[in-house]
Amino acid sequence: MPVARGFTDRETMSPTVPDEMWIRTIGVVGAGTMGGGIAQVAAQAGFEVVLIDQAEDWLDRGLAAITGSLDKLVSREKLDDRERDAILARIEGSTRIEHLAGCQLVIEAVTESFVTKAEVFTGVAEATGMDAIIASNTSSISISAIAATVPEPGRVAGMHFFNPVPVLSLVEVVRGIQTSDETAAAVSAVARRMGKTPVEVADSPGFVANRLLIPMINEAVSCLNEGVATAEDIDQVMKLGASHPIGPLALADLIGLDVCLSIMEVLHHDFGDDKYRPAPLLRRMVAAGRLGRKTRRGFHTYEAR
C-alpha cells in the first residue's frame, strides 16, 4: 500500500515502503534533559540521529550525558561495549540546524518558550523541506499555535516524552487542529519503534498528564503552606494511600519547581479558571531560587552529586 501522508511530495516516496519504516533518520533539536534522552532512545532503537544544540558546550554536555547513561547500562550488563559504541556512532552532533537536511522526522526539545520554539520550527522547516514531519516535546504550549509557524502545518504533532526518557514508557501524541491523520500515525509508529507506548490526546492545555499531575502537586503545596502536614508526611500519604511511587512534593523537586509553576500558569491562563491558580508558596519557592533537585533544595534537600 502507498504511504498516504496527505502533504505535498508524496509521489517522491517509494510506494513499497511501509509507513513505519519510512522514517530512518531523526533530528533532535535541544540536547538538554529531554533531547538527550530522546536522542539516546532513538539511537538505541536503530535510528540514525542528528542532535542539534545552540552552542558547542551545550551539545558536549548533552553528548556526555548520553555516554554516561549508556555506560551505566553497560555496567549493569544490559548492553555490551560494542553495542554502546554502535549506538553512539549513530548520533551525530552539530550546532548547525542545516545538518537536519536528511531527516524524515525532527523532534524539537528546546526551552519551553513559544518564541524560541517558533524560531526553531522556522529553521527546521527551511532545513528539511516540506515532506519532513516536525514534532514538539512541549509540556504545555499549544501544538496548533506551533504548527501555524510553518508551511504545511499538517505535518506537525506533539510527541510528549516523560522524564527520564529512557525509563518512562509513555509518549502523549498530541494532535493540533491541523495535524493530519498520517502525521499522527507516523509519530505513533516511531514512538512504538522506540519501545514507547503512544497515547493520542487532543491539543488542550497541559494535555492529559500534566493537567492531572501538576494541579495535584499545586494542591500538595497548599496543604504544606496551610500546615495540614509536613512535606515528608504529605509524600508518605500519597505513596502509602494512593500507591504513588513518589510523593507529590518529591516529584515537584524532580520536575523542577519553575517548570511546575510555568505549567500551572499556562493552565490558569488558557482555561481562565481560578481552580488552576498557582499556590503562593510555589511562587515564593521559585522566586527564592529553590527549584528542587537541580538547585539541591526544594521541598526537600539533596546532597551534592
Ligand X SMILES: NC(=O)c1ccc[n+]([C@@H]2O[C@H](COP(=O)([O-])OP(=O)(O)OC[C@H]3O[C@@H](n4cnc5c(N)ncnc54)[C@H](O)[C@@H]3O)[C@@H](O)[C@H]2O)c1
Minimum Å gap between C-beta 262 and ligand X is 8
In contact, 249 and 231? CB cutoff 8 Å: yes
Minimum Å gap between C-beta 259 and ligand X is 6
CA 279 to chain centre: 25
Residue 137 catalytic? no
Residue 269 catalytic? no
Residue with cell 509536613: 230
Dihedral sign from CA coordinates of 70, 72, 74, 77: negative
Binding residue for ligand X, selected from 3, 23, 26, 29, defined by CB under 6 A: 29
- Written as one letter, the residue type at 210 is N
Per-residue contact flags (x/-) with ligand X for residues 265 to 304, judged by CB under 6 A = ----------------------------------------
In contact, 206 and 140? CB cutoff 8 Å: yes
Minimum Å gap between C-beta 255 and ligand X is 5
Q: Does 112 bind ligand X (CB under 6 A)?
A: yes
Distances (CA, A) of 56 to 51, 61, 95: 11, 9, 7
Minimum Å gap between C-beta 36 and ligand X is 7
Cα 256 from Cα 295, distance rounded (Å)? 9
- Catalytic entry in 112, 160, 188, 218: 160
Closest Cα to residue 180, out of 157, 207, 148? Answer: 157
Q: Give how many residues touch ligand X by CB under 6 A.
A: 24
Query: What residue number has its CB nearest to ligand X?
Result: 32
Q: Does 30 bind ligand X (CB under 6 A)?
A: yes
224-263: contacts with ligand X (CB under 6 A): 255
- Catalytic entry in 140, 210, 218, 268: 210
Cα 158 from Cα 155, distance rounded (Å)? 10
- Written as one letter, the residue type at 15 is P
Question: Between the CA atoms of 237, 33, 212 and 158, what dihedral angle is there, to the nearest 10 degrees?
Answer: -160
Candidate ranges 47-55, 166-174, 180-188, 282-290; the one touching ligand X (CB under 6 A): 47-55
- Catalytic entry in 108, 112, 152, 172: 172
Q: Does 111 bind ligand X (CB under 6 A)?
A: yes
Distances (CA, A) of 247 to 116, 163, 174: 32, 16, 27
What grid cell was written down for 163?
A: 522524564
- Catalytic entry in 136, 137, 139, 218: 139
Residue 139 catalytic? yes
Residue closer to ligand X, measured from CB, 26 or 29: 29
Residue 226 catalytic? no
Binding residue for ligand X, selected from 53, 152, 182, 253, defined by CB under 6 A: 53
Residue numbers of the site for ligand X (CB under 6 A)? 29-35, 52-54, 58, 109-112, 116, 119-120, 137-139, 162-163, 255
